[in-house]
Structures are given as C-alpha cells and as structure tokens.
Amino acid sequence: MTGKTLGTLYFFFGTLRHAPLRDRVFGRAIEAEAATLQNHETRVALTAGGQEQSFPILAATPGTTAEGVLVHLGPAEAARMAFYELGYESRAMTVIRADGRPVTARVLIPEDGHWRPGARWSLEDWCAEWGAVCVAAADEYMALMGRVSPEVAVLRYPMILVRAASALRARSEAAPAGLRRDARPEDIETLSCSQGYARFFAVEDYRLRHRHFDGTMSRPLERAVFVSGDATVVLPYDPVRDRVLLVEQIRMGPMARGAANAWQIEAIAGRVDPDETPEQAARREAGEEAGLALGALIPAPRFYPSPGAKSEYLYCYLALADLPDGTGRPGGLEAEGEDIRPHLVSFAELMHLIDTAEVENGPLIVLALWLAQHRDRLRADPRPIADRGNLA
C-alpha cells in the first residue's frame, strides 16, 4: 500500500478479506495489504441460542494470530461498511503489517449481547460454501442503503441470500432448447428494474424489451414478478406397502383467494436454504415436517409452478421410505408458526383424493402422476429399501 492514501485505516479479519465481496460492498475496488492481529483468533459467530452464523468474530486468545487485511476507507466507504456490518463497533488496535511493522487500525468488534465465539473460522471454507452466494447477495443488500434503515435491511438479508442462491443455481443449470427458442443474452433488454416490496418475498417491477419470434424487438413492456427462492418438494413412498406419506397445513394462498377451506393436503416441501442443495433440503424438511428419515431420492420433474408471474422454481423428488403404521409425527417449526400433521394413505387413496379435488396442490399432483409412471418398476425391485441406494 504505497503513496498518499486518505481515510481511516481498518483491519478486516472476516468475510471482507474476500476481494470480490469487498468490491461489491464498497462499490469499487479497494487496495488491501496483508496484516495480522496478535493474540486473537477468528471464530465462528454464535447466537445466544448457540446457532452458528456464516461470518466470524474475534476471540482474544493468547499465543494465536488472526489473519487479515488493511484497507483505507474514506467517509463514503466507512458509511457503506457500517450499513453492511450492523452489530459491530470499531475499536483502535495494534496490528502487524506484512513487513513486521506495527500500526494502529480500527477493528470491528461485536456490540455487547450480539454474538459469542464458536469454533475456528476459515476464510477458505467460507469461500467454498458461502463466497459466491454472499457476493451475489451484496448488490441487492447494498442497494437498500438510503432506502431503509440498517435494522430493516438486516431482517431482509436471509431472504436476499435465498434469492441469490436461487439465481446462481439457475445460471449454472443446463437450459435445453430442442423445441423452444435457443435464447441468447441479447434477446432480452432490461431497461429498468425496481423493487416495490421486499421481505420474505419480493416484488420487482421491470421495464423491458424482448425479441419476437420474427427476429424484431418488442416495444418497451411493463412487467412485474413475484420473486421468491427455489423450493424442494418430496413425496415419501413405500413400494412394499404401496403407500405414501402426505402432510396437511393451513395455506395463505387459498385463504386469501376466499376458499372455504384453507387447509391443504400436500407433499413435504420447503425452501432451499442458501447453504444447502435441493436434495439436502428435501431430507431436512422431511425431518422437520414429519420426523421422517428418507431413503433413496428419485429426481422427478422440476418446474416453475406459475412462470407468468413468479420466479419460484421447484425441485421435486420421490423418496423411498419405510412407512409402517404409525409413521410420522405432527411437525413444523414452532419459530415459524407451523402446525403440520401427517397422513399415511395408499396409492389408490392418493389418486382418489386427486380425482375428488380434495388434493388441489399442484406439486403433489405432479408427483402422484410421476409415481404412477414408475410405480410398477419400484414395486418389482426385490431389494430392501435400505439397500437400494441413491437413485439420482
């Protein structure tokens, strides 16, 4: 770090050591110099209840060293850092430059009562698990600066991460184009995009043009999208007993529509958290909603349930499971106000529920039809369920 540099010197020991994230948070590339903080180590932040966070805090530990970087921040960058790093205060501490010289820098220390230290934290491990998601989320998060308070922004951050992870997943997946248009990036021109509402979900207003099938571009169009994260749906099936496990819970969609009965019969489902795969989410949700451990997962159709207005994308699975009488327990997360009860039903009863419209849940109908297509093969396999392995 050479030449005359204005601003306050800061020592970053956590996620802002990652240059791509640092660039997004500060809105430009900022020169950084390696440095260390003696008698401290970087630990995973834990909530008061013991829940691990993805980011670290410092723990004073004699004989240890915390790796980090030194950066100079002007007033504008310091304000952006304060918005991004809510819950910390800066404290002057002595750090050691790479050439061995000590220097005084501001270091971010958690405010009292926020977090306590857990296991050792690794930047390399964080980059592998969280780096790309946090970098993708930083743009949406920092765009909130000046529009909402930091306290409101941090409440939105978990869903911002979910949406960022969904966008990364969407960009990484193949987009077959045998029958449909073989789309190119220049086929859609986004003229403007604004976010009218954002918390658990978001509503985005677009002004755009897109290519017609005759090759011309459309006139500017106004469109709105209900933005939510990817979700997973799984139907546990016992091929020996020829039965499935369904769940029942109240749903806001039917209630808001004015349905006489807002309780829905469904397959197990839930959003994919930003630090997990759709398969991991399916197994987690089965445990949370019904106390059920799943066997092999069989990928079923994945799809947009309402592509005209919603970004939600569903990853669907059949799951082989041992479902004797009494399987399943009332479930749901109390913190999320969930109240879920399980139902064991035969395949024939499942199809009857669909025929009578007592089941009117789209993903469950898709999975029931997929099961009907593969049911004979699954029932004919003589191996025990536990020996069939992952069929993905």
From residue 45, alpha-carbon distances to 48, 118, 158, 160 in Å are 10, 6, 16, 20
Catalytic residue among 124, 186, 334, 336: 336
Count the residues in the chain.
392
Mapping DSSP to helix (H, G, I), strand (E, B) and coil, where does residue 357 land?
coil
Structure-token match 């050439």, residue found: 99
Taking alpha carbons only, the member of 110, 102, 92 closest to residue 55 is 110
Is 336 an annotated catalytic residue? yes
Taking alpha carbons only, the member of 335, 252, 348, 344 closest to residue 290 is 344
29 near 23, Cβ under 8 Å? Answer: yes
Provide the token pair at 346: 């035969």
Q: What is the DSSP letter of 211?
A: B
Provide the token pair at 253: 């969609």
Q: What is the residue type of 114?
A: H
Sequence-distant contacts of 19-28: CB under 8 A, at least 24 apart: 20/131, 20/135, 21/131, 21/134, 21/135, 21/138, 22/71, 24/135, 24/138, 24/139, 24/142, 25/80, 25/81, 25/84, 25/138, 25/142, 26/73, 26/77, 26/80, 26/81, 27/77, 27/80, 27/142
Q: Which residues contact 37 (CB under 8 A, 6 or more apart)?
A: 11, 13, 58, 65, 66, 68, 93, 95, 96, 107
Provide the token pair at 94: 């002595």
Task: State how far the Cα of 328 lies from the Cα of 117, in Å rounded to an integer.
Answer: 37
Task: Cite the active site residues.
Answer: 336
